[in-house]
Structure 1
Amino acid sequence: MRVSLKDVALHAGVSIKTVSNVVNNYQHVTPVMRAKVQQAIDDLGYKPNLTARHLRKGRTGIIALALPELGNPYFAELAAAVIDAAAEHDYIVLLDHTGGKREQEILVSQGFRARVIDGLILSPIELETEDLRARTEQAPLVLLGERHYDLPYDHIAIDNVAAARSAVRHLIDLGRTQIGFLGARRDQNQPAQQRVRGWREELTAAGLDADDGLVALTEGWGHADGARAMAHLLDSGRRPDAVFAYNDLIAIGAMRVLSERGLRVPEDVAVVGFDDVIEGRFGTVTLTSISPDKTAIARLAISSVLAGLGGGDHVPRRVTVSHALIERESTRGRGAGSPEAAWSTGRSEAAAVAEVPAESPRAGE
């Protein structure tokens, strides 16, 4: 039979209320009493009934996380961070895969799982402002990523322009002058536009030519897209001495082509990626990358959902989270700093650098 609070209380010789206070980690319990109750919990193998706890509050204990590409290492790592952050609050996470398709993102955002979730964290690719403006679902919604929506929903992102400028500045500081960009888009994808803009601004600020002939378009964000983009750039006769890629997968695909063409990384062509996925840390040439603070993104997303569940006094916010340039062999050569050393910046949830409250009322209210 399931061990109850009453069983623990009898075993410890205390009241049920005292056991409840310990289980819920209330601060006013004395250390001696906490230890006594914890010993009883351990002896009996008591486990809290989280489902009942949430139901008493009129909640399900489930937060949905909708991502465009579960096969992309960045999103897989972000999902793991969100799951860990949710577990700290006794929540579980339901994963949805949208494929980056607008119709699926609309379906998710409009609350087709409303009866089973308490809130939604969504990383949209194609969702438009008018799609969200039409939303009537009242469950808290938190947006991730760099698509901009001028709407009163919690939104957590990084500064793509500043991050791109950091990557290009690093390459310029290494003496590179012919710096290409891999991963521009025909479909006006906002993050891609912002990263191209950062590339252009930093080159211009350094007095270098932002040569559009060194910008390579891609249809997607994978290894094959990076390989095709790099091959196209080399075949055009405009050989760069460095490239900044939209993401790590594109950068890794590009490095494969450079190797096949007999070009050395970084001696002939230095490479910087974006996302700092684990794959980039273990290649034959490890990848220098822009690293968004995924842990901070996850913690802020969960805290935003919980704040939205807390009542009508929650003010939706837009938060910009920190990023760092992690230097590895693809720009510095052998002997570049290890990933562990690069994390000595001490980033955390407190590293969010900008928070802006929304001003207009939520759609449907």
Structure 2
Amino acid sequence: MAATLHDVARLSGVSIKTVSNVINDYPHIRPETRARVEAAIAETGYRPNRAARTLRSGRTGLISLIIPELKNVYFAELADDVLTVAAEYGLAVLIEQIRGGSGPAGELAAVEAALRRGVDGALYSVLDLRDEDAASLQDAPVPLVLLGERIFGGPADHVTMQNVDAARAATEHLIARGATRIAALGSHEGEVVGSAGLRLRGYREALEAAGLEFDPRLVPPGGTWFRSDGARLMTEVLETGAPFDAVFGFNDAVAIGAMRVLQEAGRRVPDDVLVIGFDDLDETRYTQPALTTIDPGRRRIAETAVKFLVERIAAEGPGGAPREIEVPFRVVERESTRR
């Protein structure tokens, strides 16, 4: 038979109430008592009954992570970070994917479905919604923390990265190493708010500050930021015949796809062309050459977002004005920009 609270209490020599306090991480427990109860839990194999805890507390211990498709490696690694941080708070995570192309209506439907799964709160990486769509999030039945670069000053806490400053730093890194003709891959035509629009702005600011010309032939728009998009965009730049000596991929996957095309075209990285990406994915350490990139603070985003969500859940109410946080970034120099 499955072990019970009585079994743990009997073995550890404490009351059932004390065992319950240890399981629920009550702070005022003596360290030796906590250690004795935890040892008894391990020995008996006791597993708390989540359903019973839910009935008592009104909470499920579940949060939702609503993100774009996991085949985008950045979101897969972000999900891993969120799972790790949530576990430190004793929370489990349900992952909900927003399929690209569904538009704002389809995205809101996915969010509403996720919030009906009995979660205590949700982290939501906005894909297509705009500021004018934010009002629809005000009546969410559970606390929300927004991620991403689509909605600023919205109805919920928002944790994101410094896209403009980080893109400017990436471009400046190339300029400082002698680059004067820098291709930028991953822009989206007409986009102002959103990762692509913000990173293009940072790129252009760096060029202007250095007195370098913006050449639209070096900035082909389009793509969904997979390796295949980087390869296609790099091919388009090569076909224009426009000279260039560096490439800024708006994410690592785009930069990796571009490097493959450059190498096939006989352009050596970094001797002929410098290349930098954005996201600091794990695989960038193992490309040939290893890819210089921007670490946008993904782990810090996960830590801050989960912390904010836990605070909002505990507050059981509005709990103050929404917070807007941009986490620090850093340039991670590797072989692809070392001549």
Give the TM-score taking structure 1 as reference length: 0.86
For the structure 1 residues 118 and 33, does the alpha-carbon distance in structure 2 shift closer, same or farther, using more than 3 Å as the test? closer
Match of 1:160 among 157, 160, 163: 163
- Residues 203-239 of structure 1 deviation map (CA, whole Å, 9 limit, x = unaligned): 1112222333321212321111111111111111212
State the SS of the aligned residue for 2:220: strand
What are the within-5 Å matches in structure 2 for residues 34-49 of structure 1? 34-49=34-49
- Once the two structures are TM-superposed, the CA of residue 263 in structure 1 deviates from its matched residue by 0.4
Is residue 2:125 matched to residue 1:119? no
Q: Which amino acid aligns with 2:300?
A: A
- Residues 274-304 of structure 1 deviation map (CA, whole Å, 9 limit, x = unaligned): 1111222211211111112222111222222
Match of 2:75 in 1: 75
Distance in 2 of aligned mates of 1:223 and 1:320: 27
Distance in 2 of aligned mates of 1:25 and 1:117: 20
Match of 2:53 in 1: 53
Match of 1:233 in 2: 237
Match of 1:215 in 2: 219
What are the within-5 Å matches in structure 2 for residues 85-234 of structure 1? 85-100=85-100, 101-102=102-103, 103-111=105-113, 113-135=115-137, 136-188=139-191, 190-234=194-238
Q: Which amino acid aligns with 2:54?
A: H
Q: Which amino acid aligns with 2:178?
A: G
What is the number of equivalent residue pairs in this alignment?
333
Is residue 2:334 matched to residue 1:328? yes
- Once the two structures are TM-superposed, the CA of residue 54 in structure 1 deviates from its matched residue by 3.3
Match of 1:265 among 263, 269, 273: 269
Distance in 2 of aligned mates of 1:270 and 1:264: 9
Distance in 2 of aligned mates of 1:7 and 1:140: 37
- Once the two structures are TM-superposed, the CA of residue 111 in structure 1 deviates from its matched residue by 4.8
Match of 1:64 in 2: 64
Give the TM-score taking structure 2 as reference length: 0.92
Is residue 2:298 matched to residue 1:294? yes
Distance in 2 of aligned mates of 1:64 and 1:112: 7
- Superposed CA RMSD in Å reads 1.8
Distance in 2 of aligned mates of 1:131 and 1:114: 20
Distance in 2 of aligned mates of 1:270 and 1:299: 33
For the structure 1 residues 116 and 187, does the alpha-carbon distance in structure 2 shift closer, same or farther, using more than 3 Å as the test? farther
What are the within-5 Å matches in structure 2 for residues 12-51 of structure 1? 12-51=12-51
Is the contact between residue 156 and residue 321 of structure 1 (CA under 8 Å) also seen in structure 2? yes
Distance in 1 of aligned mates of 2:186 and 2:36: 59
What are the within-5 Å matches in structure 2 for residues 341-356 of structure 1? none
Range with greater deviation from structure 2 (167-176 or 206-215): 206-215
Structure 1: give runs of 5+ residues left out of the alignment: 334-365
- Once the two structures are TM-superposed, the CA of residue 330 in structure 1 deviates from its matched residue by 0.9
- Give the fraction of aligned pairs with identical amino acids, expressed as a percent: 47
- Residues 16-38 of structure 1 deviation map (CA, whole Å, 9 limit, x = unaligned): 22222333333432233233323
State the SS of the aligned residue for 1:265: coil
Distance in 1 of aligned mates of 2:155 and 2:188: 28
Is the contact between residue 252 and residue 278 of structure 2 (CA under 8 Å) also seen in structure 1? yes
Is the contact between residue 130 and residue 151 of structure 2 (CA under 8 Å) also seen in structure 1? no
Is the contact between residue 280 and residue 287 of structure 1 (CA under 8 Å) also seen in structure 2? yes
Is the contact between residue 131 and residue 150 of structure 2 (CA under 8 Å) also seen in structure 1? no
For the structure 1 residues 50 and 294, does the alpha-carbon distance in structure 2 shift closer, same or farther, using more than 3 Å as the test? farther
State the SS of the aligned residue for 2:75: helix
Distance in 2 of aligned mates of 1:3 and 1:199: 60
Structure 2: give runs of 5+ residues left out of the alignment: none
Is the contact between residue 111 and residue 137 of structure 1 (CA under 8 Å) also seen in structure 2? no
Is the contact between residue 162 and residue 296 of structure 2 (CA under 8 Å) also seen in structure 1? no
Match of 1:2 in 2: 2
Q: Which amino acid aligns with 1:160?
A: N
- Residues 230-249 of structure 1 deviation map (CA, whole Å, 9 limit, x = unaligned): 11111112121001111111
- Once the two structures are TM-superposed, the CA of residue 156 in structure 1 deviates from its matched residue by 0.8
- Once the two structures are TM-superposed, the CA of residue 250 in structure 1 deviates from its matched residue by 0.8
Is the contact between residue 69 and residue 98 of structure 2 (CA under 8 Å) also seen in structure 1? yes
